[in-house]
Amino acid sequence: MPILNLKISGQENTELTQTLVNELTELTALHLKKKPEVTAITVTYISENSWFVNKKSLKDQSLKSFYLDIKITESTNLKDEKAMYIKAVFSLMGKFLGNLHTESYVYVEEVKADAYGFGGLTQEYRYIDSKKYVVR
């Protein structure tokens, strides 16, 4: 938890992939307070010939782009934290991809705790289980 799905315009690049995975894991920990040991990331490359903005391919525009979808548990982050994260991701991607189209997106999706989990347990269960309530 969380899961990040990153789409990048261009040809597959193993070195770039590892760098971005490392950097995104750090930014996710820093801004969203998510534990690196449970942060999962998938990376997909898409040809600039197959990525369009306003009916024009990125190749024709000589631009790069990305789309990051991250799923986090609902109500675990403040608006300001999410805003800083989106800004930091855009800056990071510009640094490594170069000339970015402004229509590059970061989508922070908040998922209900009882409908999201890993290892066979929901985040709701993990939250409740972490509270060892003692009745006196």
For residue range 30-73, list pLDDT tens digits in order. Answer: 999 999 999 999 999 999 999 999 999 999 999 999 999 999 99
Cα–Cα distance measured from residue 106 to residue 90, given in angstroms and rounded to the nearest whole number = 8
Look up residue 101 and give its amino acid: H
pLDDT tens-digit map of 7-21: 999 999 999 999 999
Proportion of the chain above pLDDT 70, given as a percent:
97
* Residues 92 and 24: beta-carbon distance below 8 Å: yes
Q: Across residues 69-88, what is the average pLDDT? A: 98
Residue-range domains of the chain with CATH = 3-130 (3.30.429.10)
Residues 6+ away with beta carbon under 8 Å from 1: 34, 35, 38, 39, 72, 73, 116, 117, 118, 123
Closest to 97 measured CA to CA, from 53, 25, 43, 54: 43
CA geometry: angle at 53 spanning 47 and 54, to 5°? 145
**Cβ neighbours of 29 (radius 10 Å):** 14
- Given a cut of 70, whether residue 29 has pLDDT beyond it is yes
* Amino acid in position 57: S
Indicate the residue type of 15: E
The span from the CA of 126 to the CA of 118, in Å, is 10
DSSP annotation of 52:
E
